[in-house]
Amino acid sequence: MAKAPNGPLGALNGKLSNLVFYILNGQPVVRTIGDPGKPSRNQLANRQAMSVTMDMVRTISEFTNVSFELEVKGTVRNTHNLATSYIKKHAVKGEYPNLSVDYAKVILSNGTLPGANDLKIEKNEKGVLVSWDSRDRHNDIVMILLYHPLKKMATPIINACRRDAGSYFVDLHQELVEEPIEAYICFRAANGKAISDSQYIGNLNGEMESKEEREQKEKYASVKQRFDVVKADYLQQITDNRGNPVDSKAFRNLEREYEVLKKKLEHLPGKPGG
């Protein structure tokens, strides 16, 4: 039962039919509960977009808690929601069911401080060296984020050094050095009252397939191989029957398998070039 503790015109609190009312960050919120029914393709695409977004967001919160702190100040939003919104809206690429994050478009901060030119990243067996043009605002604090897609983990350096240092070496385990790295940087005022836009430094080691991605491609190939066989048999039987379905139990079973496999391929990740 929903209650109205603030009177008939106030916010509700509790359950009313399939709706739940509550207060979040001082704001009234309502959401539905129960079985929503079979999801549409757009709903499935939205869920996958959120899933690939959260794979990154949940690992970089230590960084974004600081980088988005000024932007959420005085609003009802929080740093987690802001990071999720920016990545999902601006940095998800592809078509369902093969959505992924475009790391070059990830936004990790917005601000008025100048960024830096001549951004570089280099590696050796002990870690990576990030460097930048250090001619402006010497005492700004450098923030660096290294994201490791295969491990779905991040290496955040909140207070790396001053801007005028011009470079910073990040110690990494050798295994991480050899895997793909997506690198970002932003600059924060020494008094914490301003920040720059985040900048994508670049990628190290290219894009490597994870075990999950390899398994998805193998599964897709296996299902596609079976579908091609079933499809050929299904269409041939229709052709042999002058373009009409065959009136037999065997054909109906074949038709059912054809439709099931066709539908499955529409929602199965791992499609080549996807």
pLDDT (0 to 100) of residue 137: 81
Tell me: the pLDDT tens digits for 248-269?
A: 999 999 999 999 999 999 999 9
Is 47 a residue whose pLDDT tops 70?
yes
- Mean pLDDT estimate for the chain: 91
Nearest 5°: CA angle at 183, between 122 and 135?
Answer: 70
Which residue is it, tokens 């940087």? 185
Contacts of 139 (CB under 8 A, 6+ apart): 162, 163, 164, 190
End-to-end alpha carbon distance in the chain: 47
Tell me: the pLDDT tens digits for 76-121?
A: 999 999 999 999 999 999 999 999 999 999 999 999 999 999 999 9
Is 124 a residue whose pLDDT tops 70?
yes
pLDDT (0 to 100) of residue 8: 58
Range with the poorest average pLDDT among 23-32, 34-43, 107-116, 207-216: 23-32
Tell me: the pLDDT tens digits for 174-204?
A: 999 999 999 999 999 999 999 999 999 999 9
pTM of the model: 0.78
Contacts of 263 (CB under 8 A, 6+ apart): none
% of the chain beyond a pLDDT of 90: 77
Measure the CA–CA gap between 242 and 256, rounded to whole angstroms: 20
